[in-house]
Amino acid sequence: MIKLITTNYFEMTAIILFGIGFMNILLQDNLIKKFIGLNIMDTAIYLYLVSYGYISNRTAPIIREGNWQYVNPVPSGLVLTGIVVSVSMTAFSLALVQRLYKRYGTLSFDEVIKKLRSGEAQNGSES
Amino acid sequence: MTYNSSDNHESKWEKFFKWVNGEQALDSVWEKELKSKILGKRQKRHKSIEDVIDKINAQSKKIYIFFSIIITVTYIGILLYTAVLLPEHGNELNPTNNEVSQRYVENGVNDTGAVNAVSAMILEYRAFDTFGETVALFASIICVAILLKKDRSNLCPQEEREYIEDEKILNADGNGILKFTSRLIFPIVILYGVYVILNGHISPGGGFSGGAIIGAGLILYSAAYGDKNLKHIVNYNSFSKVVCGCLLVYFFSKGYSFFTGGNHIKSIIPKGTPGNILSGGLILPLNICVGAVVACTIYGFYSYFTKGDI
């Protein structure tokens, strides 16, 4: 078991990073920091997947003749998909945050909820 | 804001149709009435209700923080214990390195003609997946445009002030270092992006990474010189034409597998010699399409977030 702790440190790091991102989402009040936490979670998952595709003493899957020793190419494709989806989700959510800021004049999630409940939304730029 | 909450005589359906047509916001219809009723009653009963609510909020906040820490710690503990029990990192006998990846590595060159196994996988074996990814990017840029597009002739006073200040900053002669450096770097960045896109099937890279590099170059140029010089090439018309055209080309070359099913590796396009730049069948044109979409999307994000227009 102790041997596995020393060899599986990529997965351990990915899980700890995931926890940091999760705590960010739960505890940060600022909405932009919440989405930074979401991006940290994404990064942790990429690290996890890529570390699973890795095989020691093998090269990147650019195939040359006479060499059949390559790392697993499947997780690389998965990570590519993940990066694209994460970029589009981040852009969309940041656009929503910008609209929210224009409407309520604050980035704090609690303040937004408070203003929503008391019904005093600032009219901002909407004419 | 043009909420007309005074006329309460409309039926619910009329209000709903007005909301669908965009003439009236929904919260003015239902929420305001409800809130005025509830709050009015509450304020009559308890004058110090806000203090009570604040107290409850502070208490529940503490409970929330406590429980979120406990939940995260247990969650991470379970996951860490699982990570210890997982098979060894980097061992070639791991169950993840099964016949799937073996088949992609061994038969990829013969099936597709592309040397890069990852490119062969995402643009030939699983081309419809990549089509979905590209459409996701397209959908997100459409959403950002819907949310952030500004009308230049219809700005509120604060936005107009910001716009004038931005123009002043751009026209000032202050950022000489940025202008000089970007003049040096911009052609190299674009050239490198084109290289990465065109060599996607014979070296690491491909449409997504090359498109991101070209988009970053366009952002650099736009940040240094403003969008006036770039407007001749990158404007709304060319943007929509390029993105929609590339998506349509991709769909007509690979989208038929949504209807026919099965793998569609056999095509009439010759595969060429593996390792040459004109090899890999449809992978090179598909890489170019994906790269164009990604470059336009990245630059579109930047310009919508900064200027509210493209």
pLDDT digits (tens, 9 = 90+) for B82-117: 888 888 888 888 888 888 888 888 888 888 888 888
Residue among A8, A23, A109, A125 with most chain B CBs within 10 A, to mutate:
A8
Top-confidence range, A2-11, B149-158, B208-217, B281-290:
B208-217
Class of domain A2-58+69-118: mainly alpha
Task: Write the DSSP assignment of B278-306 as a string of letters.
Answer: S-STTHHHHHHHHHHHHHHHHHHHHHHHH
pLDDT at site B5: 46
Residues in chain B: 310
Q: Do A74 and B101 touch (CB under 8 A)?
A: yes
Rounded mean pLDDT of B143-168? Answer: 84
Between A52, A60, A64, which is nearest B204 by CB? Answer: A60
pLDDT at site B9: 64
pLDDT at site B264: 64
pLDDT at site A126: 45
pLDDT at site B37: 67
The domain ranges of chain B are 12-45, 114-306
Q: How far apart are CA B252 and CA B241, in angstroms?
A: 16
* Dihedral of alpha carbons B11, B17, B21, B26, sign: positive
pLDDT digits (tens, 9 = 90+) for B46-76: 557 777 777 888 888 899 999 999 999 999 9
The per-residue pLDDT of chain A, averaged, comes to 86
pLDDT at site B302: 92
Dihedral of CA atoms B110, B112, B118, B124 in degrees, nearest 10, equals -150
* CA-based nearest residue in chain A for residue B150: A125
Q: How far apart are CA B146 and CA B304, in angstroms?
A: 10
Residues of chain A with pLDDT under 50: 124-127
Q: How far apart are CA A53 and CA A56, in angstroms?
A: 10
Q: How far apart are CA B72 and CA B50, in angstroms?
A: 32
pLDDT at site B28: 55
Neighboring chain A residues of B283 at a CB cutoff of 8 Å: none
- Of A102-106, A114-118, B10-14, B126-130, the poorest mean pLDDT is in B10-14
Between B65, B88, B208, which is nearest A84 by CB? Answer: B208
The domain ranges of chain A are 2-58+69-118
The answer to whether the CB of B143 falls within 8 A of the CB of B299 is: no
pLDDT at site B4: 47
The answer to whether the CB of B250 falls within 8 A of the CB of B286 is: yes
Is pLDDT at B6 greater than 50 in this prediction? Answer: no
The per-residue pLDDT of chain B, averaged, comes to 82
pLDDT at site B8: 55
